[in-house]
């Protein structure tokens, strides 16, 4: 309890799935949450549940002006920022690179990866002042690959590289930079992928089987790890890509 007391946290993509589970956990642990999400309807619904101290803005993380507007609002309302959780992302329909359209490729790169450039550009001064944290939602797919999702995996591999390099660049300012790497998590994003599969009925079993621990979790497992990484309990942890994957990456098994 109160592991994040009085911290102000910006989370992107906080109106759904993993981001929503994290936002709820941050609030439970005493933080004030500011959500940036492109889905205005879902954002307003969530903010309505959270109470007036928690705020947000409808915007696209791939657009400099939108991210700047979010940071300007945070400065105006709270005057400080303790953490940025870069979580918003999209996935494209399953296909190999040669069948991926240029606009799909660019959208993935800009939303999933370049967005970290914008939140850092516009938010780093506030984090320097608070000796704050950056947390990135990566994916096991950035580490071990995923068939028919090469562009998505490239963005997550890029996030892993950025996490380590930014951890080095900002350590001198007392800023920690970490990432969480889930395998499967039941969220609208995963449900969309499951629905695209030729045999959606078998997907539930498949998604249980890829995790050594034997089930596909919901967002709360990521949220618990995120609370740890943003809390003072993780004060000596930086540059870490933490698997929250039920052992999905450990190896072949029967």
* In the complex, least distance from residue 90 CB atom to ligand NAD, rounded to whole angstroms: 5
CA-to-CA distance for 161 and 165, rounded, in angstroms?
6
* Binding track over 73-112 against ligand NAD, x by CB under 6 A: --------------xxxx--------------------x-
User: By C-beta, is 29 or 37 nearer to ligand NAD?
Assistant: 37
* In the complex, least distance from residue 87 CB atom to ligand NAD, rounded to whole angstroms: 5
CA-to-CA distance for 134 and 82, rounded, in angstroms?
9
Count of C-beta atoms within a 10 Å radius of residue 113? 21
- DSSP assignment of 26-65 equals HHHTT-EEEEEES-HHHHHHHHHHH-TTSEEEE--TT-HH
Check binding of 187 to ligand NAD (CB under 6 A).
yes
Interaction residues for ligand NAD, span 114-173 (CB under 6 A)? 137, 139
Active-site choice (26, 78, 152, 215): 152
Check binding of 178 to ligand NAD (CB under 6 A).
no
Check binding of 61 to ligand NAD (CB under 6 A).
yes
26 noted as active-site residue: no
CA-to-CA distance for 36 and 12, rounded, in angstroms?
5
User: By C-beta, is 4 or 91 nearer to ligand NAD?
Assistant: 91
Element spanning 85, H or E:
strand 83-86
Are 115 and 88 contacting, i.e. CB atoms less than 8 angstroms apart?
Answer: yes
Phi-psi region of 136 (alpha: psi -120 to 50; beta: other; left: phi over 0): beta
Interaction residues for ligand NAD, span 192-251 (CB under 6 A)? none
DSSP 232: G
* In the complex, least distance from residue 6 CB atom to ligand NAD, rounded to whole angstroms: 26
Q: Which of 9, 10, 18, 194 forms a contact with ligand NAD (CB under 6 A)?
A: 18
Active site residues: 152
Contact residues toward ligand NAD (CB under 6 A) are 12-13, 15-19, 36-39, 42, 60-62, 87-90, 111, 137, 139, 182, 184-185, 187-190
């Amino acid at each position: 309890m109160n592991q994040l007391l009085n911290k102000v946290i910006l989370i992107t993509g906080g109106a759904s799935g993993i981001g929503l589970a994290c936002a709820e956990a941050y609030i439970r642990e005493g933080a004030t949450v500011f959500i940036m999400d492109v889905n205005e309807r879902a954002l307003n619904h969530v903010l309505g549940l959270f109470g007036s101290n928690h705020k947000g803005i409808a915007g696209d993380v791939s657009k400099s002006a939108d991210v700047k507007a979010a940071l300007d609002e945070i400065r105006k309302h709270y005057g400080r920022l303790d953490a940025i959780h870069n979580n918003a992302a999209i996935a494209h329909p399953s296909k190999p690179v040669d069948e991926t359209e240029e606009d799909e490729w660019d959208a993935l790169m800009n939303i999933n990866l370049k967005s970290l450039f914008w939140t850092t550009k516009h938010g780093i001064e506030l984090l320097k002042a608070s000796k704050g944290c950056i947390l990135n939602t990566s994916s096991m797919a950035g580490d071990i690959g995923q068939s028919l999702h090469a562009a998505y995996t490239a963005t997550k591999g890029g996030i892993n590289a950025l996490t380590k390099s930014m951890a080095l660049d900002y350590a001198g300012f007392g800023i920690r930079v970490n990432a969480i790497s889930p395998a499967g998590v039941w969220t609208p994003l995963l449900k969309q992928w499951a629905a695209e599969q030729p045999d959606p009925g078998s997907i539930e079993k498949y998604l249980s089987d890829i995790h050594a621990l034997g089930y596909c979790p919901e967002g709360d497992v990521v949220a618990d790890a995120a609370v740890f990484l943003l809390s003072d309990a993780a004060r000596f942890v930086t540059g870490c890509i933490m698997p929250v994957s039920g052992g999905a990456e450990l190896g072949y098994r029967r």
